[in-house]
A and B are shown apart, each in its own frame.
Chain A
Amino acid sequence: EPEVTQTPSHQVTQMGQEVILRCVPISNHLYFYWYRQILGQKVEFLVSFYNNEISEKSEIFDDQFSVERPDGSNFTLKIRSTKLEDSAMYFCASSGGLAETYEQYFGPGTRLTVT
């Protein structure tokens, strides 16, 4: 069964450093998403991406964040200057369509620890 993959599984970085989290969505999907989950809290939407542009973003997704699809397979989330409060599990997801009936397939997550 096709799956979404994410690398690395765990990233430790120092405050103020840039990090790039990588995702490989399911190959024929067109819609891509990032979510985050701060430890012990709910999963929160960050951003959705379609046709090489952001479709929707939450208030969490400020100027420190950016997303990119640099080639035909990868989808990345960049945090320019990490803060302690960016420590969380980051989930990538992809879906084959926009309608609410289309399932979003989630990756295993990248745990980001900012020290």
Chain B
Amino acid sequence: GNSVTQMEGPVTLSEEAFLTINCTYTATGYPSLFWYVQYPGEGLQLLLKATKADDKGSNKGFEATYRKETTSFHLEKGSVQVSDSAVYFCALRPNTGGFKTIFGAGTRLFVKA
């Protein structure tokens, strides 16, 4: 079946540190991959997406590359800010049957000043 596994949190970093949040997936076919962010007390916001292998999604300094060979979509940012503190969800949408988005468990990021 389809599933998403992402690294457990919380992740605590100092401001300007490098961020990596690992995400791997299991899917039949060629899903689209997404990162969503949830700031405290708010809903889900799409951060970035990639729809085919080797695509790189990027937004607000975050980026992730769709790696089919390793079934991964790791989120990276070169220099985090306090305002990046949030929960980050890796997700996929399969391209065979079904209409739902499948989410990982989420990784909470704390950035200290």
Provide the residues of chain B in CB contact with A56, threshold 8 Å: 98-100
Q: Interface size for chain A: under 10, 10 to 19, 20 to 34, or 35 or more residues? A: 20 to 34
Are the CB atoms of B100 and A33 closer together than 8 Å? yes
Residues on B with beta carbons closer than 8 Å to the beta carbon of A65: none
**Cβ of A25: which chain B residues have Cβ within 8 Å of it?**
none
Q: Give the B interface residue count (CB, 8 A).
A: 26
Evaluate contact between A33 and B99: CB separation under 8 angstroms. Answer: yes
A48 within 8 A of B: yes
Q: Which residue of A lies closest to B46 (CB)?
A: A103
Q: A55 in the interface, Cβ–Cβ < 8 Å? A: yes
Q: Is the CB of A41 within 8 A of B105?
A: yes
The answer to the question of B103 belonging to the interface, with a C-beta cut-off of 8 Å to chain A, is yes
Q: Which among B13-21, B65-73, B77-85, B88-96 touches the partner chain? A: B88-96
Q: Which residues of A contact B42 (CB under 8 A)?
A: 108
Known contacts A98-B99, A101-B32, A101-B51; is-contact A91 B46 (Cβ 8 Å):
no
B93 engages A107 (CB within 8 Å): no
CB neighbours (8 Å) of B51 from chain A are 100-101
Partner of B94, one of A31, A50, A100, A107: A100
- Extra contacts, 17 of them, besides A42-B105, A45-B101, A103-B49 (Cβ < 8 A), are A33-B100, A42-B104, A43-B103, A43-B106, A45-B100, A48-B99, A58-B100, A89-B43, A91-B43, A100-B30, A100-B93, A100-B94, A101-B32, A103-B46, A104-B93, A104-B101, A109-B44
Which residues does A use to contact B, with CB under 8 Å? 31, 33, 35, 41-45, 48, 50, 55-56, 58, 89, 91, 93, 98-101, 103-109
Closest 8 CB pairs of A and B: A108-B43, A45-B100, A100-B93, A100-B32, A48-B99, A100-B95, A106-B44, A43-B103
